[in-house]
Amino acid sequence: MKGWTGKTLIVDLTHGTITTEPLNMDIAPLFIGGRGLGARLLWDLVGPGVDPLSPENVLIIATGPMTATGFQTSNRFSVSTKSPLTGTVLDANSGGYWGMRFKRAGYDLMIIKGRAPKPVYLEITPAGVTLHDASHLWGKRVSETSEALGQDKNKRNVLCIGPAGENLVRFAAIMNDATRAAARGGPGAVMGSKNLKAIVVEGDERVEMADKERFRFVQYEATKMLKANPITSQAFPEFGTAVVMNIINAVGALPAYNFQQSHFDNADAISGEAIAETILVRNAACWACPIACTRISKTDKGEGEGPEYETTWAFGAACGVDDLIAITNANFLCNDLGLDTISTGSTIACAMELTEKGLLTSDLRFGRADLLEQTVEDIAYRRGLGDELAEGSYRLAERHGAPELSMSVKKMEMPAYDPRGMQGQGLLYATSNRGGCHMRGNMLGVEVLGLPKLVDRFQIQGKASFVILHQNSAAILDSLVACKFVNIAVAEEYLARALTSLTGINYPTGELIRAGERIWNLERLYNLREGFTRADDTLPPRLLNEPATGASAGWVSHLEPMLAEYYRSRGWDEQGVPKPAKLEELQLADLAAEVIHG
């Protein structure tokens, strides 16, 4: 077996048992690994009606064939589960070093079941796999836990939750290597519900390759492309992901004041350029990453990783805040407490609007940078109003009689791109299987940056095909598992060649893209089985009815015609259900029977 290790680790926390099973090679080539394989296993293991925070839910931590090979950004892993925030299928992936180390410990994936009777942590070393009492770690923050368990990026890597996960905050993150996060949708809360504090891993096994020489040549070609591309070789290393702040603001697609506006007057103060000029210490990289987009920043509160573009927006423009120091400190705190910065900032912004409209009694107001840190802590520990905010913006707004003020899709808070100024992005949000998310096929390249070509961002007809292509490609990258930034410069053709030479299985480019389509459709089936319908493929009313400001002034999201075109192009019926012919084509007909007919 090449590429895959062929081993699955199964941990039953209820009974305290640890076993190893062979990887199912009937399904692995079809779903590749990471997100795809996680979704396929979740389909079998977590049926409809399971409470995401019950012992019946599972955590699936999966690498991909590419992980730990040395291919660009081959450091990532995926966490799959049923989301406590949305109730949808969920995967969240992360970079750093932990995923590489887990693969080198000899495993493709781990399935964690049940609930431990008391806090535990799992240790995976060449000597074996063991469960240990973690009572002394419960309550500790991520930095304290990582240090206590011997975090060393070059030898021993720690994955853990912070107080937010322990307290079942619905958007709690799983953190690894102290500052990297599998954040969206609340996987940290699932881990906390299982009384699992941490997973420590050591390992140095090498991944076997079918054609190592050919694989290394494709890797060499990909390196040249990344170095030749101005975004991956210059913009990201110098300014990080926040380099797009001023660009997005200039086109009128930067959501501000809880999406009440699509332009933020003081965006320059929280931009990538501002970070580089004021608080940046250096840039850094995950394992095997030539891009090095990570920011290491320093404030009066200390030194740490970030903030990324989404974070500077969430605590910045979304909250009407232009204080970069306050934003950065809130980011540091989220990392240490184990919180998704997008949902945290967006939920605070929602609370600010509720307060200003007289629907919520609090001190939160747009521009109150001085309240960010305290509010973040209150959320993680569920103190006072923080207990309500810990449920996410939709449940918060619904409780106070205005669910329309939650800027979310399927209860997941949308990130930093206003779909009134990027029509395709709105379709992407509405159809994303895990809720409002840009990482399921971001349209930024096509609609704003001109990568690989520029398409009119206000165009409606024909936009569905671009969204579908990007969604399928994102599913591929999340299953290999590789960073989305590789795809900025490296086309799917090269990924197919790399996977073929690595595994010895022939993956023509078309078949690799079909695998992405298969994964997307399986996730759709999962959500349909959970009771989601066409009505859930929508956007907050504000974006459909209230015109944008700035350079997109007068525009709303024209979702409905795009959605109808999207369903047709996907081979789905008018209700968004995949048709039998499409499911047969994708080898999903047997799985779909209980959804379509039952």
pLDDT in tens, the chain (598 residues): 899 999 999 999 999 999 999 999 999 999 999 999 999 999 999 999 999 999 999 999 999 999 999 999 999 999 999 999 999 999 999 999 999 999 999 999 999 999 999 999 999 999 999 999 999 999 999 999 999 999 999 999 999 999 999 999 999 999 999 999 999 999 999 999 999 999 999 999 999 999 999 999 999 999 999 999 999 999 999 999 999 999 999 999 999 999 999 999 999 999 999 999 999 999 999 999 999 999 999 999 999 999 999 999 999 999 999 999 999 999 999 999 999 999 999 999 999 999 999 999 999 999 999 999 999 999 999 999 999 999 999 999 999 999 999 999 999 999 999 999 999 999 999 999 999 999 999 999 999 999 889 999 999 999 999 999 999 999 999 999 999 999 999 999 999 999 999 999 999 999 999 999 999 999 999 999 999 999 999 999 999 999 999 999 999 999 999 999 999 999 999 999 999 999 999 999 998 876 765 4
Judge whether 498 and 506 are in contact, CB under 8 Å.
Answer: no
SS3 517: helix
Name the packing angle between helices 509-529 and 463-480 (round to 10°).
Answer: 90
Token pair belonging to 244: 């797009």
Q: What's the rounded Cα separation, in Å, for the pair 77 and 496? A: 19
**Could you write out the DSSP letters of every residue in 198-261?**
EEEEE--PPPP-SSHHHHHHHHHHHHHHHHHSHIIIIIHHHH-GGGGHHHHHHTT---BTTTTB
Give yes or no for a contact between 410 and 532, defined as CB atoms under 8 angstroms apart: yes
Which sequence spans correspond to the domains of the chain? 7-202, 240-413, 423-538+558-596
**What is the CATH architecture assignment of 7-202?**
4-Layer Sandwich (3.60)
The structure's pTM equals: 0.98
Name which CATH class applies to 423-538+558-596: mainly alpha
Question: Mapping DSSP to helix (H, G, I), strand (E, B) and coil, where does residue 27 land?
Answer: coil
The yes-or-no answer to whether 7-202 and 240-413 have a common fold is: no
CATH class, range 240-413: mainly alpha
